[in-house]
Structure 1
Amino acid sequence: MPLWTIYHPADAFSDADKAELAEKITEIYGAVMPRFYVGIVFQAIEARNFFVGGKPAERFVRMVMEHIARSFPNIESSRRFIDRVNAILKPYLADKGYDWEFHIDETPIDYWSINGHYPPKPDTEDERRWRAENRPSPRTHA
């Protein structure tokens, strides 16, 4: 389950921007896992409450990505992912004069539950069913 928390100035994103960005982020993950795994929280922060380097951060966006459903197998795959994310973010941030930063936390899949179900292992019959139905259900395999 990827969960993105996007801390941003209140006027950084329109509602349409948020919807477009959420769809583009979900598309990245939807190629390999159920789309309903993807959660995105836009958290508006007033400039007087957001500091970087001890100074108010009026044109800065900070993101935290929590990866639970998958882990990167190597540095090359993480770099490809990061480059893809930066390309998606560019029109919403760089092109509008915002600076940004993000980091990715990876949590083992064994420390997660959704609607009371343990998620299926990647690329299994159960996960394919979850992707097709776009919802969790009891596992049929260990």
Structure 2
Amino acid sequence: MPLWQIYHPEKAFSDEDKQAIAQHVTDMYESFMLPRFYVNVFFHALPKTSFYIGGEPCDDFVRVTIDHIARAIKDAETQQKFLKGCTRLLNPYVAGRGLRWELNVDDTPFEQWIVNGFKPPLPNTPAEIRWRSENRPSAYET
């Protein structure tokens, strides 16, 4: 599961922007063959008095943290391609609007993850293919 947490000034994104960003993020991971329901995008609007950069109140900065659980990107070339894809996805909404931004990716061990009480199937197995096509978790034979 990729979990995107986007911390932003209160008025940085409209509801339509948030929907569009979430759709773009979900589409990107679907192209990696992940079930769409794996993708979580949370927006955290922060007032200027709750957002500090360098000890100063801030209303022009967006912080994106991504937790990868379903897949880890191991090789440097793919990592850079992924970060460039994130930049293309986000730039119209951040840099294109004069906002400063930062992004990081953390990998969480696949073994420490469950969905609705189910241990997710391994990548590209028949069970994961079924989860993708049904867009929901379900029991499977291990």
TM-score, scaled to structure 2: 0.97
> Is there any run of 5+ residues in structure 2 with no aligned partner, and where?
none
Identify the residue that residue 5 of structure 2 maps to in structure 1.
5
Q: CA deviation at 1:57?
A: 1.6
**1:119–1:139 Cα contact (<8 Å) kept:** no
Identify the residue that residue 84 of structure 1 maps to in structure 2.
85
Size of the alignment, in residue pairs?
A: 141
**What amino acid sits opposite 1:71 in the alignment?**
A
Q: CA deviation at 1:56?
A: 1.4
TM-score, scaled to structure 1: 0.97
- Counterpart check, 1:23 vs 2:27: no
Identify the residue that residue 110 of structure 2 maps to in structure 1.
109
Whole-angstrom CA distance in 2 between matches of 1:56 and 1:41: 22
Q: Deviations over 1:25-44 (max 9, x none)?
A: 00111122100000111000
The sequence identity of aligned pairs, in percent, is: 45
State the superposition RMSD in angstroms: 0.7
**What amino acid sits opposite 1:20 in the alignment?**
A
Whole-angstrom CA distance in 1 between matches of 2:5 and 2:136: 22
Whole-angstrom CA distance in 2 between matches of 1:118 and 1:132: 18
Mapping 1:27-106, distance limit 5 Å: 27-31=27-31, 32-106=33-107
Whole-angstrom CA distance in 2 between matches of 1:34 and 1:20: 18
**What amino acid sits opposite 1:33 in the alignment?**
L
**What amino acid sits opposite 1:88 in the alignment?**
L
Moved over 4 A (4+): none
Whole-angstrom CA distance in 2 between matches of 1:61 and 1:139: 40
